[in-house]
Amino acid sequence: MKLNIKAFALTCGLVWGFGLFFLTWWIIAFDGATGEITLIGRLYRGYSISPVGSIIGLIWAFMDALVGGAIFAWLYNLIAARITAK
């Protein structure tokens, strides 16, 4: 089976981006906006537990997972083609 690289990358980007966005709003709803630097905030410049930080995190996470998903799907297709060719 071959993966569609563009579709897989877009799906990864959307899932991770909106996942981080909703997780941030979940934390804001129950703990309040702190604006503290978190572990993800160290990786994604500008991200914090705040409304503006959730948008910044959405953009960073989408781009990060888009690239990661594309690399994963490309490697999967490469390895799957070599295994089935034998």
| Long-range CB contact pairs, 13-19, < 8 A, 24+ | 13/61, 13/62, 13/63, 13/64, 13/65, 13/66, 13/69, 14/62, 15/65, 16/61, 16/62, 16/64, 16/65, 17/58, 17/59, 17/61, 17/62, 17/65, 18/58, 19/61
Q: Check whether 85 has a pLDDT greater than 80.
A: no
The pLDDT-based confidence of 47 (bands split at 50, 70, 90) is very high
For position 68, what pLDDT does the model report? 98
| Residue 74 or 32, more confident | 74
For position 59, what pLDDT does the model report? 97
For position 36, what pLDDT does the model report? 73
> Which pTM was predicted?
0.88
The pLDDT-based confidence of 86 (bands split at 50, 70, 90) is confident
For position 61, what pLDDT does the model report? 97
